[in-house]
């Protein structure tokens, strides 16, 4: 991804950073996650972007740390939510001690990882999440002519030169990768794009517990 997200960080925040009020299903899933980890729990938001999901988790009574590979995104998140914790990090190397998090969310961030990257990322999340903790992962399943297993490359985004590949993922494949890393998948949801609120892709979400 090089510095692609650095280039679009502010525009991303403008376009997507206030999306949750229009997404009742996503809010419900984050609420379920908060209930399971418990009020006051320390959690991770991996691929946090401009920080809006971390802010929502904080509003639900959690103590989130936002992690993103893009320093530009982390800078925007710190500006928008100065009272919260944000740090640069990747799925392959999370800046957290073993078992430090009671849970983690990965909102549409595994879509940039290939199969090897996802498997390594789930192993690292297993290390970071305490035994019995929870992981909530959201991703795109398909869109138009793009089926699960396909990818879509962007060379331009909002007028900026980028090098980004988005993967459409089969929920069964992602679930198997999570199980192989030591998670037990407890809930799977597939949904259609929410009207007038987001890009027209079918979306999947998996809620898993660290065995």
pLDDT 10s digits, 119-178 = 999 999 999 999 999 999 999 999 999 999 999 999 999 989 999 999 999 999 999 999
How big is the CA angle at 137 (ends 133 and 142), to the nearest 5 degrees?
160
- Do residues 135 and 207 make contact, with C-beta atoms less than 8 angstroms apart? yes
Nearest Cα residue to 207 out of 133, 136, 128: 136
Between the alpha carbon of residue 204 and those of residues 81, 140, 162, 192, the distances in Å are: 28, 6, 25, 9
Read off the pLDDT band of 31 (50, 70, 90).
Answer: very high
Query: What is the token pair recorded at 74?
Result: 């982390």
What domains can you pick out in the chain, each with its CATH number? 4-210 (3.40.50.150)
What letter does residue 197 receive in the DSSP assignment?
A: T
pTM, rounded to two decimals: 0.96
Reported as a single tens digit per residue, the pLDDT across 172-194 is 999 999 999 999 999 999 999 99
- Give the start-end residues of each E strand in the chain: 42-46, 63-68, 85-88, 101-107, 129-142, 151-157, 160-167, 183-191, 202-210
Is the per-residue pLDDT at 39 higher than 80? yes
Read off the pLDDT band of 2 (50, 70, 90).
Answer: low
Is the per-residue pLDDT at 1 higher than 80? no
- Do residues 142 and 168 make contact, with C-beta atoms less than 8 angstroms apart? yes
Query: What is the token pair recorded at 34?
Result: 């908060």
Q: Which residues contact 21 (CB under 8 A, 6 or more apart)?
A: none
């Amino acid at each position: 991804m090089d510095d692609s997200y650095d280039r679009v960080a502010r525009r991303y925040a403008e376009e997507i950073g206030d999306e949750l009020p229009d997404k009742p299903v996503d809010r419900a899933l984050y609420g379920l996650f908060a209930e399971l980890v418990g009020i006051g729990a320390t959690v991770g938001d991996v691929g946090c972007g401009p920080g809006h999901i971390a802010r929502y988790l904080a509003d639900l009574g959690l103590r989130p740390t936002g992690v993103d590979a893009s320093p530009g995104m982390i800078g925007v998140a710190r500006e928008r939510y100065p009272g919260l914790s944000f740090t640069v990090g990747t799925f392959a190397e999370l800046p957290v001690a073993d078992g430090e998090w009671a849970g983690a969310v990965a909102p549409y961030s595994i879509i940039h990882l290939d199969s090897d990257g996802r498997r390594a990322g789930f192993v690292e999340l297993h290390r970071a999440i305490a035994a019995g903790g929870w992981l909530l992962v959201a991703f795109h399943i398909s869109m138009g002519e793009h089926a699960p297993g396909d990818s879509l490359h962007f060379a331009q985004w909002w007028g900026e030169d980028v090098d980004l590949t988005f993967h459409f993922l089969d929920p069964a494949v992602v679930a198997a990768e999570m199980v192989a890393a030591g998670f037990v998948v407890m809930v799977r949801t597939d949904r259609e794009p929410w009207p007038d609120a987001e890009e027209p892709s079918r979306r999947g979400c998996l809620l898993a517990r660290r065995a």
